[in-house]
Amino acid sequence: MNMTMNRATLFTPVQFGAMQLKHRVVMAPLTRSRSIQPDSIPGDLMAEYYAQRASEGGFIISEATNISVTSRGWLGAPGLYSDQQVEGWKKVVFGIHAKGGHIFAQLWHTGRSSHVDLTGGEMPVSASVDPAYWQNPSHLVSASSGWVQPSPHRALAIAEISLIVEDYRRAAERAMDAGFEGVELHAANG
């Protein structure tokens, strides 16, 4: 396939679920750490950032967005677990829709890649325990005290899994309330 053929395809419409995109250029999730702290609320800076990148018939996937306080693992990441966060996201989504763009929310539970400073003092949870992860000096997370190694984590109890699934469900409902057209699940960090 030659370069002209690729370019021509890139700028052709495509149906994506219920959305009709005018081109195939998609803005992937990018961590920006611009939410208002300490409550992880999307503010005016986030609304401006996303609106600047929106295009007629284009598609954006939001940055990783926490589903609960205990899912947090990156200082400045926004959330979708409070009414104030939903109101903040409404401004972001409105700016994208005003330009004719589309957006999905990427929902995130950071798992073992977290620090107790971010989780309300709760020990991070993961599918299994891996002490080498928090002991590795090359694994760092952004916390209020700066770049730090993750806190030790513990394995989820079976009964806790349904609680996290429920956090995802509620965050997805909040995303729809904020005007997102869909959600994507971030899957990383154990």
Q: What tens digit of pLDDT does each residue of 38-75 get?
A: 999 999 999 999 999 999 999 999 999 999 999 999 99
Tokens standing for 159? 């009964």
To the nearest whole number, what is the mean pLDDT of the chain? 94
- The amino acid sitting at 60 is I
d(CA 90, CA 84): 10
Superfamily of domain 20-185: Aldolase class I (3.20.20.70)
Q: 106 forms bridges with which residues in the sheet?
A: 64, 184
Could you state, in order of their start, the residue ranges of all structural domains in the chain? 20-185
Q: What's the pLDDT tens digit per position in 147-159? A: 999 999 999 999 9
